[in-house]
Structure formats: structure tokens, C-alpha cells
Amino acid sequence: MKPNRPVGIVGYGAYVPRYRIAAKEISRVWTDGHGGVPVSAKSVPGPDEDVITMSIEAARNAIKRSDMQASELTAVWIGSESHPYSVKPSGTIVADALGATPFVSSADFEFACKAGSEALTAGMGMVGSGMANYVMAIGADTAQGRPGDALEYTAAAGAAALIVGPAAESLATIEETVSYVTDTPDFFRRADRPYPVHGNRFTGEPAYFMQVRSATQALLQQLGVSPNDITHAVFHQPNARFPQAVAKQLGFSAEQIQTGLLANRIGNTYSAAALLGLTAVFDVAQPGDTILMASYGSGSGSDAYLLRVTDAILARRDRAPKTLRYVEREYFVDYAVYAKWRDKLVMG
Amino acid sequence: MRPVYIAGTGMTAVAEHWTRTALSLARDAAHLALQQSTINRIDGVYVANGSGAPLGLHQNIAPAVAHALDLHGVEAISFESAGAAGGLAIRHAATAVAAGVADAILVVGVEKVSDFLDEHREESMALTSDTDWESLHGVTLTAQWAMLMRKYMHDYAVTPHDFAPFPVNAHANAVANKLALYRFAISADKLAGAGMIADPLSLLDSATMADGAAAVIISATPASAAPPVRISGSGVASAPVALHERTDLLDLSAVRLSSQRALHAAGIPANHIQAFDLHDPHGIAAVLAFEAMGYAARGTGTQLGSSNAIRPDGSVPVALSGGCKARGDLFGALGVYQIAELTAQLRHTAANQVPNCQHAMAQSMAGIANTVVTHILSRD
Amino acid sequence: MEHARMELARHWRHRHARYRLQGSRHTTTGAIAFPPRDGSEWEPTLLSGQGTVVTYTVIHQPPLGHHGEVPYVLAIVALAEGPMITAQLSDCRANEVQIGMPVEMVTRLLGNEGDDGLLLYGYKFRPLLV
């Protein structure tokens, strides 16, 4: 898919909370320290943080890197599976905090970990059709893992904001996108239930790997491009291993995915994950670099994009804190504090 | 305007009166005051109560108190101005009597707070701060005093220990006050290990609110066998409610203005005051009040403690009945307790008697000195 | 069924000041005020969020609704544009706070009106990220 009018990313911003819990601390509680861990640590939102507060900071960072103002945004869309309200879009509060109200569109997106990229694709359509000049697409989550479950080691928190705008004003153009979606129930949460369930190994080959490969291969084929032609690749990262494996399957090298791979230090930030990897790449990419990004959302599906970095990135990317700055800002808490903050203690 | 006398006083003990109601405490104090005087006609009942309305207990308690005292149909007015309620009730009673509108007014201050959980009390007390721009953020009165203390310590290079003489003095004086909440001495080194309420204010430098009632009869004549004691002056002043709206955080401007007005009305200079009862839930509150009134230069107020000037034999004796810290923090009733206690000083019958006391000052406030009431009492 | 107190309009009317530090600028003198002022001589203006800590305290005995946050740091911050503001400090330990420390505004959760009620967002301050 590509719109008639060329579009790109005119501003980008990241946010990761400063708190961390070591995966070994989680296994200390649940397995007495036995067994391996899928990441080294994961980010933990502070007690005064949620999808809305993280989105606000990521979005403010994105606006700083753009040359436009929040009042020019036609839409503010947040994709998440942990919206603070089930009824009342996170976007209404974020749009107000940014100064984008009142002439703005703002509904919440949900597609597990690819809710943010769904907003990105919709933004491409809005801008590409000429209906808007600027759309803010945010992926953000404060993911919850059932205590003691495998997912608890990785369910983390973060936000990434991308402003879609005309290609002429962008830091990176979006050449093309492919969305690949099927009814594949690898991981899901019923309404009104607190924790999701997942199909263990079913979340692997039939789900993550199949959808990510299919979207990426279709994209590369449409563009007549091979992995060798691409500078950076960013994949959805539920843990450290999956993106490395799918990269290998697709023919990407370890070097190509290195910059965008953050999961080992911050865990799986769900709707922010692939987008945060993209922002980390933007922080160091050179004009002319190409970037392949493929998100993944359980349910399931993958959105693949090919981006091309422009000259404009050099002058604008230092206007806001880099993604690595947030990643390296670490304050470790123990399981008790983590459980208290994440509302895992039943208070009666 | 004619002179105004204190014709009778009465106080209940300050305690957690589990079996008593606000009304029954008010009655007890009022009866003691009435018994002490020869007044046989009361023209008005003014009742000061700061906590009842914010805690959702009652509003406009005055008619209930009047009725409980069999003062049927009398003019009954409630003063619900938080910690300034008692002082304001005294002032208005004094003004009415001085103006000839009334000959004798019974002023009662009563608080009944022990029924409520700590966090509910904290929340209701925080109503005296700016709701939308202060208390929303989790501000408490103690937190506000603590912020002033932190700045004071930073600006003038003092430590929490330098404030210790104030609670130590209060407790030492309370030993002789049969009605005090806490009647034991404390030592300065106990302050060092005390638990924090709002850093740097610890449990031992923070007053406790409790229940009690005090009553005072304000009259156009002495109407008592005791030596005549007059309210020789009173003054009220205001300041911005939110601390962040004030230009100089450590200047309690309403304390200064209120005391200047009271002293001017009394026609006496500041250095003639021989006994003080201040709004002193923490050492910092007393220090800032003394500095605002000029009894110590800015930044030197803690020296009034270290030099023992605040002791009963010093130059600025304060908390002679135990202050807010040891007698107890009576919130809206404080202003009435202060008048009752200082009347004993001026009659020379107080437990911690200042030698030959002729003039005394009572001062109470709402919030962090956003309304301050000062009274000067003089012996004829 | 009893609801916790809900004051929807009261919080809604202050949202611009709370979410993005929107204050007022005097049209004649150029003076900046926060909170916002009423009156035709004042126009809305956004404050930068930069400030320094004037004083602070660490609260161990909270009022209602703040029990889960203890201990928290409350401060008076002098904003770069002139006004002072009362707010919590976030993203720092109590023993890291110093009078004179530069801070920046962040929009965070201030609380809620019960399990069913409104989420309250507003300003806090943190040590400079950069």
C-alpha cells in the first residue's frame, strides 16, 4: 500500500520509564532462580505513569523534532492494549495535553502489540489522501503479565510517537507498507479479564514468525528489494530471541538488527516495541539509509514498512532525548515494590 | 468604645474524650465560666469550631450549644474559620461588647476530632490550603510548615535540633497543667530519633489534635471576684492562602500586621508583652511568628530557644500552658483556650506564672497564617 | 450504591493549566501568572515547564487518597517565567532533592476519584533528563 501523495515521518519521540526489574529477580520469586530468562530486565512504569502520561512525553518529543505545532495535527491516535479507560479514548487527554484540540480526530486503536503501527498506517492514509497534513500515531503500553507466568518476565512499559506528514518535510519517507492479518489466536485477553492468555509454542511459528515473514517478504517483493539492500531492520521484539530468529529466516544480519533491538534491556513494550526500535534507529541513521520495520500483533498480524532517511534528520534529531538515553536511565526495584506498583497486591 | 473584661473562664481537659460529644464538652466549659463570674444575663453565645463542618459532623453548632445551656432564643453565632475560629469569635464578642451592642457574650471554643481517622483529619485540615493548586497535590498543613522549615534551615544554616527547645519548653510547662494532653517532659535528644511526619518535621516537633472545650465570658464589667482582666486590643490580618503566591515565604506578614494592629489598639509597645500564647504546632511556627513580630531578627529566632528566652523566666515566655505541642492542638478552639489560660496569667494564678504579669498576647491562625488573630490582654 | 466523590467539572475546567502548564500573560505589562487569571487584561500563554526547587518536604503521613504514594516529595518550584508553583517531584529519590535544583515539568497521574471515577492528570516536576 502506498498513498498517492508521498508521506513520511516528520517527527519522532520515545519514552521509557526509568524503573527496571531484573528478570532474575522475577525468577528468584517464582522458580527459586532456576531456568533461563528471556531478557535481562524489563521496564516498569512508576506509580504515576500510564499509557496516557508516557504518550504525552513521547508525543512532545516528536513535536520538538518536527517543524510543526500541535495545533496543526488532524488526528492523535494511540494504539495500546492497556488504555487507562475502556470507554474514553486516551487520545482525548493526550490531544488536550499537546494543544491539538479541538479540531482533531482521536479514537483509540487496539491490535495487541501492533496497535501503534495500525495507527501509523491509518495516518499514512489520512495524510496521503490529502485529508490531513499531520497525524500523530503513538504506540504505548503498560503491559501486565500474570504473576509467575512466562510473560511476566517481559511485559514492560514504553511509548513511541511518530508524526506522519508530507514527505517533503520528513526525517524519513515511507515508501510502502503491507499489512498481513489473519485470525490466529496465539495470545489474547477477554474483555473484563485482568490478564491475557497465550498458546506457548503456538505463539511462535504459526503466529509471530509466519505473519512477520509474510508481511516482510510481500513488501520486499513489491518493492523489488532484497535484505542486502536495506541498512537497518527493526522487528517486533517480544523477547531477545524472536527478532533475531526472524531476521535470520528473512536473510538479515545481526548487524542490521542491532540498533533497533532493545528488548534485552527494557523487555517487551508491546504496542511501542517495534516503533521504539525504529526511533533508536532514527537516532543514529544517516541520510539515505533504508529501514525495514515489521511490527507484530497477536490475534494476529504484521505491518511491514520501508522507510528512507532524509537529510533533514541531522538537524532535528538532537532536539529531544534519544531513545538510548531513556534505555540507559535505569533504577532497579525488587519484586515487592514492582508488585505494589503494578497493582498485583489484592488490597481487599 | 467602652472597655471589655473577661468575666469568667472555663476549660475541659484536652484529651481523647471517647465518651463525650462536642455539645457535652461545650456545656462543661461554659458552666465553669458561668460559675466563675457574677454575670446573670448572657446576651449572646458565640461558638468557635473549626473541624465539624469539614469532617461532615455538623455545621452551625452555635444554636445547639445555646439550647444545651438553656439560653433559649439568644443570639447564637458559629465561627467556622478553621484554626482562626476561636480568636475571631473572641474578637467579635469583644467588638460587640465594646460597641454597646451586648453587655455579656459567652464565647465557647470546642473541637471533637478523635472520632475520625488520621487521614480524614489530615484531608479536612488541608482544606485551609488552596484546594485546586495545593491540596490536590497531597499537601497537608504539616507538609507546608515542613517546607518553610526546610527553606529556613537552608537560608540560615540551622538544623532540626535548633528548633528542639520549643517542644522541650512546651512539654516542661505542661507538667504543671492538669488539663494538658501530655504532661511529661521530653528531652532534645529524643527528637533526633523520632519518626518523620513530613520531613524535616518529626512526631516530637509536631502537635497532636485532640478534643476539648474552653469558654470565656466577655463582659462590659469585670463581674468577678478575681482581679479585672481586659482585652486591651485585638487585630486581624490576612495573607495569600497558597504559599506559592507569597513573595517572601518566610515572612508571615499576617502575623506582623495582626500583632501591630492589636498592640496599636491596646496602646502598648511590643516589648511590654510579658507572656505569649502563639499558634505553635511546630517550633518553626513559633520562630517565624516571633521574627514576623520583631522579637527576633530574621534568621535568629531559634536563638530565643537556645538562650532560654522562651522559658517562663525568660524575655519572651511562650507555651506557658504547654502550647499546641503539649497542651494539645485545639484547632478552632485554640483561640478561646488561649484567652482562658492567659487570663490566669494576668490574675497571677497560673501554674507556670510569669512574675508580675501585666500584659499578655494570644495569637492564633488559619492555615499557614492566612488569617491571623491577635489579642492583647491587660491587667488593670 | 455509593460513588466516591466525583467533581468532573471542577477538574475539567483546570485541565489546560494542569496538563500543559497554561497560565496567563498580562497584555500590557507582559507579566506571566500561574494559575491562570480571569479578566480581559490577561491572555492564555504556555509556560516552559523549566524551574528550580525553592523548598520541599518528604511526606510520610498523607491525607486521604495519597496513602499509596508514601513517601512522596512535595515542593515549591520557582518557574523560569516568574511564578512559583506547588507540585510533587517525581522520578527521583527523596535524598536526591536539593534546594536550587533545576527541574522540568512532566504530565503525570495525580490520582483518581475512586475505582469507577475520573483519572486526574496534571503537572509534576523531575530533575532534568538531559
What residues does each domain of chain B span? 5-116+211-219, 127-201+226-379
- Nearest chain A Cα to C118, which residue? A85
Per-residue pLDDT of chain B (380 residues; tens, 9 = 90+): 899 999 999 999 999 999 999 999 999 999 999 999 999 999 999 999 999 999 988 999 999 999 999 999 999 999 999 999 999 999 999 999 999 999 999 999 999 999 998 888 888 888 899 999 999 999 999 999 999 999 999 999 999 999 999 999 999 999 999 999 999 999 998 887 899 999 999 999 999 999 999 999 999 999 888 899 999 999 999 999 999 999 999 999 999 999 999 999 999 999 999 999 999 999 999 999 999 999 999 999 999 999 999 999 999 999 999 999 999 999 999 999 999 999 999 999 999 999 999 999 999 999 999 999 999 999 98
Helix H or strand E segment including A165: strand A157-166
Do B317 and B351 contact (CB within 8 A), yes or no? no
**How confident is the model over C109-113, as a mean pLDDT?**
94
- Neighbouring CB atoms inside 10 A of B21's CB total 16
Comma-separated ranges of CATH 3.40.47.10 domains in chain A: 7-171+317-341, 173-314
Dihedral angle over CA of A59, A63, A68, A71, nearest 10? 40
Query: C88–B197: do the CB atoms touch at under 8 Å?
Result: no
Which one of B139, B197, B241, B368 would you mutate to disrupt binding with C, by most C Cβ within 10 Å of its Cβ? B139
Q: Which residues pair with A159 in a beta bridge?
A: A15, A140
Query: A53–C107: do the CB atoms touch at under 8 Å?
Result: yes
How large is the angle between the packed helices A273-282 and A115-128, nearest 10 degrees? 60
Query: Chain C contact for B209, CB < 8 A?
Result: no
CA angle B187, B188, B191 (to 5 degrees): 105
CA angle A253, A160, C19 (to 5 degrees): 170
Amino acid at the residue B219: S
Query: Chain C contact for B151, CB < 8 A?
Result: yes
CATH superfamily to which A173-314 belongs:
Thiolase/Chalcone synthase (3.40.47.10)
DSSP output for A76-89: EEEE-S--S-SSS-
Q: What is the pLDDT of residues A131-150, one digit of tens each?
A: 999 999 999 999 988 999 99
Backbone angles phi, psi at B349, to 5 degrees: -120, 15
Per-residue cell: B234? 485585638
Do A136 and A128 contact (CB within 8 A), yes or no? no
Please choose, from the candidates A16, A25, A70, the residue with its C-alpha nearest in 3D space to the C-alpha of residue A44: A16
CA distance A219 to A215: 6
Q: Write the residue in B138, B154, B242 that is nearest to C88 by C-beta.
A: B138
Q: Name every chain C residue with its beta carbon within 8 A of the beta carbon of B126.
A: 63
Helix H or strand E segment including A217: helix A210-223
Could you tell me how many CB contacts below 8 A there are between chain B and chain C?
Answer: 102
B253 three-state secondary structure: helix
Pick the catalytic residue: A81, A152, A169, A175? A81
Pick the catalytic residue: A57, A83, A113, A175? A113
Q: Could you tell me which CATH number the domain at A7-171+317-341 has?
A: 3.40.47.10
Respond yes or no: is residue A328 known to be catalytic.
Answer: no
Query: B122–C62: do the CB atoms touch at under 8 Å?
Result: yes
Q: Could you tell me which CATH number the domain at B127-201+226-379 has?
A: 3.40.47.10
Reported as half-sphere exposure (CB side, CA atoms, 13 A), residue A203 has a value of: 18
Amino acid at the residue B284: I
Cis-peptide into C71, omega within 30 deg:
yes
Q: Name every chain C residue with its beta carbon within 8 A of the beta carbon of B143.
A: 57, 59, 74
Do A145 and A154 contact (CB within 8 A), yes or no? yes
- Neighbouring CB atoms inside 10 A of B156's CB total 15
**CATH number, domain B5-116+211-219, options 3.40.1350.10, 1.20.144.10, 3.40.50.720, 3.40.47.10:** 3.40.47.10
pTM, two decimals, is 0.95
User: From the CA of A56, how many Å to the nearest CA of chain C?
Assistant: 7
